Amino acid sequence: MRIYDIIKKKRDGYELTTEEINFFISGYVSGEITDYQASALLMAIYFKGMTLTETTALTLAVKNSGDTLDFKGVKGIRADKHSTGGVGDKTSLCVMPIVASLGLKVAKMSGRGLGHTGGTVDKLESIPNFKVDLKASDFENIVNEVGVAIIGQTNDIAPADKKLYALRDVTATVDSIPLIASSIMGKKLAVADDVIVLDVKTGSGSFMKSVSESENLAKVMVGIGKNAGKKICALITNMDAPLGNSIGNSLEVIEAVNLLKGSYQSDFYEIVTELATEILTLSGLYSYNQAKSEVKRVIDDGTALNTFKNMVKAQGGDVSVVDDVNNFKKAKYSIEVVSESEGYIYSVDTEKYGLSALTLGAGRNKITDVIDYSAGIILCKKTGNYVHKGDVIATLYTNNKNALKSAKQILLSATKISTEKPQINNIIIKKVY
Ligand code: URA
């Protein structure tokens, strides 16, 4: 077999066989296939696409390029959720303790944030002393005892994806459905879960800007999951505005803890409760209606908050910040961003809001950048709100005084104010089973 022939076959629009896809992935990971050959194949895939059979084969090749974790020591039904990436997306911090409070087991591996999107692991690390690199046996023990533990993804999971993603990033081949789907699902399937619910974001803060593209991505990922024997579904959710009212690591943990204490923004609550309900329903332990009311109950009676606290304690974190969120270290500098005109907030460029938070220190441009956990944005007004000139739209927080001016400019330029009232879209747009 020659990589030249595989590139040519895909370039001409033909379906690759599983053997050809495996040859590509193993050759690329071992270094026998060069970056320029891999780039050519990625670009051919970008233009010609892949069938579900090819995408499933690519996913399995990515998964099998590294370690797989079976978590045999975890007793019970194992569940996970995955978001395709958004701004202010702290849903895992609530969803996982909720489903763990209702009998499921969550042994979750999460990623770090890069660019305008945040990562669950960084958010958790904003809790003083919280450990995300547990020994496998400690991880399993916590999952068995508390119901949930969340750790960072190790380098040994899906190394092919790491190499391919870095190449896609510099060759304009990130936003291809088979490449995104195989990248996400290759990592998901490396961890043996029974139930997976995907949160596929759509809109200005996500990879997929239109609902139809997001729906296609969701269908492919759900198809791959089903081919791999998982109980799986996807929610397509709106990322035309940041989720909830906070962007930034400790600010988002505070918002998540507040939800578990019964105080929340409606968009955030709706996504959290729907994701948890779908996970519980797919598990087979509850009907949809039972799941919905049980999710509400464990939030209202504090059970889910208690599970979250137990996880924080078991992973070495300081629970005093959960008991009282005012114990989180605050950023040294803050400024209020005020509206320069009067009217409705007609739309926001969510990706730019993420970039504003990144400028404040809440995110990374490259994986080695150090995060300022207390940096970020609290939104006082969201799309659809009416503002007068001088009303506060948002407050910016940072320990880097020099960042305030440009972060403010980015946020203002990303906020469109109009005399016309915007139409507000539902937060949950579609479900794909
Ligand atoms: N997240 C991933 O892990 N991979 C992609 O390709 C896109 C988003």
Q: What is the pLDDT of residue 356?
A: 97
The best mutation among 120, 165, 169 to test binding of ligand 1, ranked by most ligand atoms within 8 Å of the C-beta, falls on 165
Alpha-carbon distance 224 to 53, whole Å? 8
Q: Which of the following is catalytic: 63, 82, 90, 352?
A: 82
Question: What is the 291 CA–ligand 1 centroid distance (Å)?
Answer: 30
Q: Which of the following is catalytic: 78, 116, 123, 187?
A: 187
Q: Which of the following is catalytic: 80, 89, 122, 161?
A: 161
Domains of the chain: 3-49 (1.20.970.10), 79-323 (3.40.1030.10), 330-418 (3.90.1170.30)
Under DSSP, is residue 153 helix (H, G, I), strand (E, B) or coil?
Answer: coil
Q: What is the pLDDT of residue 111?
A: 85
User: Nearest residue CA, atom 3 of ligand 1?
Assistant: 184
Stated pTM of the model: 0.95
Q: What is the pLDDT of residue 87?
A: 95
> DSSP letters along 320-331, please?
HHHH-GGGSPPP
Q: Which of the following is catalytic: 83, 110, 176, 183?
A: 183
Q: Is 78 a catalytic residue?
A: no
Q: Is 82 a catalytic residue?
A: yes
Closest atom, ligand 1, to C-alpha of 184: 3
Q: Is 168 a catalytic residue?
A: yes
- How many angstroms separate the Cα of 91 from the Cα of each of 5, 243, 259? 44, 9, 10
Q: Which segments in the chain show pLDDT lower than 50?
A: none
Give the count of beta carbons closer than 10 Å to the beta carbon of residue 134.
Answer: 18
> DSSP letters along 391-406, please?
-EEEEEEES-TTHHHH
Question: What is the 158 CA–ligand 1 centroid distance (Å)?
Answer: 12
Q: Is 318 a catalytic residue?
A: no
Instruction: Supply φ then ψ for residue 105, to 5 degrees.
Output: -110, 130
Residue ranges around ligand 1 (CB below 6 Å)? 84-85, 165, 174, 179-180, 183-184, 207
Q: Is 187 a catalytic residue?
A: yes
Q: What is the pLDDT of residue 85?
A: 86
